[in-house]
Amino acid sequence: ITQTPHEFLACALQHPASTNCWYSVLWSFKGEWFRAMSLYAPLNLIMMLIFRGKRVLNSPLRSLFHLGFSILRSTVFLTCYVTAAWTLPCLFRWLKGRDLPWMYYVNGMVAGSMVLIEVPGRRLELALYCLPRAIESFYNSLAKQGYARYIKNGEALYFCLSTGVLMTLYQSDPGSI
């Protein structure tokens, strides 16, 4: 913990070891890079061996290049996503001198746009994971403000709703998914 107090409480919670937000960006990027690499390297290797086993045997160098590129792309995506999500609020506070609600909307849009780094097929997989969470978060916000009631075990309902949305998109335009 630093001796000099942070200017903002949120910054103190996000990076307690340093009052310098820019140092926090670099530290966050470096730390997330290794976490993302340790996630995506075995995941991509296993997927390649399961779904492209014959191709690996027939063309090992090409498969190795494809594996390395896939790991790199996914690692860059997750690293940029997490780094943006955690550090952009510090940048906005530094620029404006205070916290404002719009900062978190812009932060979400910038961090979310990092999905464009991934290939379209992978984006769909991420959407299948994130859409139920987004619906659940939205519903919980409505319930917290009194606009809706809490539903016990609502995860199944959120999943059905998000799957229905994706199926409707697929039915109207199969190329979109």
Asked if 114 and 81 touch (Cβ cutoff 8 Å), the reply is yes
Pair (42, 53) in one structural domain: yes
Pair (67, 125) in one structural domain: no
CA dihedral 6, 12, 17, 23 (to 10 degrees): -80
Among residues 33, 37, 70, the alpha carbon closest in space to that of 51 is found at 70
Pair (25, 104) in one structural domain: yes
Pair (110, 127) in one structural domain: no
Number of structural domains the chain divides into: 2
Pair (135, 176) in one structural domain: yes
Global pTM reads: 0.73
> How sure is the predictor about 19, in pLDDT bands with cuts at 50, 70 and 90?
confident
End-to-end CA distance of the chain: 47
Which two three-digit tokens encode residue 119? 């290939």
Residues 164-173 have pLDDT tens digits of: 887 888 788 7
**What is the domain range of residue 153?**
119-177
